[in-house]
Amino acid sequence: MCAAPTPGDIFDVKKVRRLIELMKEHDLSELDLKQADNRVRIRRGGEVVAYSAPAVSMPRPAAATAEPAAAPAPSAADARMLVIKSPMVGTFYKASGPDSAPFVKVGDRIGPEKTVCIVEAMKVFNEIPAGVSGQVVAILVENGAPVEFGQPLIKVDPEA
């Protein structure tokens, strides 16, 4: 994007960002601006955040719907966190047995190959590899708890 957007350039991201901030600040659910062939239309609270020119990419709305009670505005640290999600439905175990040490604990540095937990499904104990590198920041599920597909299990800080 060039340095000095023309006044008519509705795709000035800064401007759109300010519009969105304005919407959030005032808890607006929709904003719709149109000028000749130009139009900016923003809705909040549910589904659509869209605007009608193939300019800067906006995050997929589905993600917002997906976690309705999602976190408040994430901090910069939060933003870089990686999350290991469950690849299946089953029961979460942090160790290979009741007397064994957990695969990982908060503070551990891990690599992609590292087994971080077991998800048991249909009597099969599936070892779940980290898939990412970094430091374990949090284990999000209790031992023995049921987990669904895609459920966040472990939070990893890749930059720590």
Partner 1 sequence: MFKRILIANRGEIALRVIRACRELGVETVAIFSEADRGAPYLELADEAICVGPAKAADSYLRIDRVISAAEIGNVQAIHPGYGFLSENSHFAEVCRSCDIGFIGPTPEAMERVGDKNSARALAREAGVPTVPGSQGIIGSEQEAVKVAREIGFPVLLKATAGGGGKGMRVAANDLALASAWQQASAEAQAAFGNPGIYIEKYIERPRHVEIQILGDQHGNVFHLWERDCSTQRRHQKLIEESPSPRLPQAIRQKMADAAVRLAKTANYFSAGTVEFIVDQQDNFYFIEVNARIQVEHPVSEMVTGIDLLKAQIRVAAGEKLDLKQEDIKPRGHAIECRINAEDPAHNFRPNPGRIDRIIAPGGFGVRWDSHATTGYVVPPHYDSLVGKLIVHQATRKDAIDTMIRALKELRIEGIKTTVPLHLEVLANTAFHEAQVDTTFVERMLAG
Instruction: Rank residues 19 and 117 by Cβ distance to a second copy and give the closer one.
Output: 19
Nearest to 157 by CA among 116, 106, 86: 106
- Which of partner 1, a second copy, none has residue 18 at its interface (CB below 5 to 8 Å by kind)? a second copy
Decide if 94 contacts 103 (C-beta within 8 A).
yes
d(CA 19, CA 41): 10
Instruction: Rank residues 27 and 99 by Cβ distance to a second copy and give the closer one.
Output: 27
Query: Which residues, 110 to 139, sit near partner 1 by CB under 8 A?
Result: 121-122, 124
Instruction: Rank residues 21 and 148 by Cβ distance to partner 1 and give the closer one.
Output: 148
d(CA 143, CA 95): 8
- Which of partner 1, a second copy, none has residue 85 at its interface (CB below 5 to 8 Å by kind)? none
Write out the DSSP string of 96-155. Answer: SSTTSPBS--TT-EE-TT-EEEEEEETTEEEEEE--S-EEEEEE-S-TT-EE-TT-EEEE
- Which of a second copy, partner 1, none has residue 79 at its interface (CB below 5 to 8 Å by kind)? none
Site string for a second copy, 9-38 (x = CB under 8 A): xxx-x-xxxxxx-x-x-xxxxxxxxxxxxx
Q: Closest separation between CB of residue 42 and partner 1, Å? A: 15
| 47 sits in which H/E element | none
Beta bridge partners of 106: none
Applying CB under 8 A, which of residues 2, 3, 4, 62 lies at the interface with partner 1?
62
Count CB-CB contacts under 10 A for residue 31.
17
Query: Which residues, 39 to 78, sit near a second copy by CB under 8 A?
Result: 39-46
Q: Which residues bind a second copy (CB under 8 A)?
A: 5-11, 13, 15-20, 22, 24, 26-46
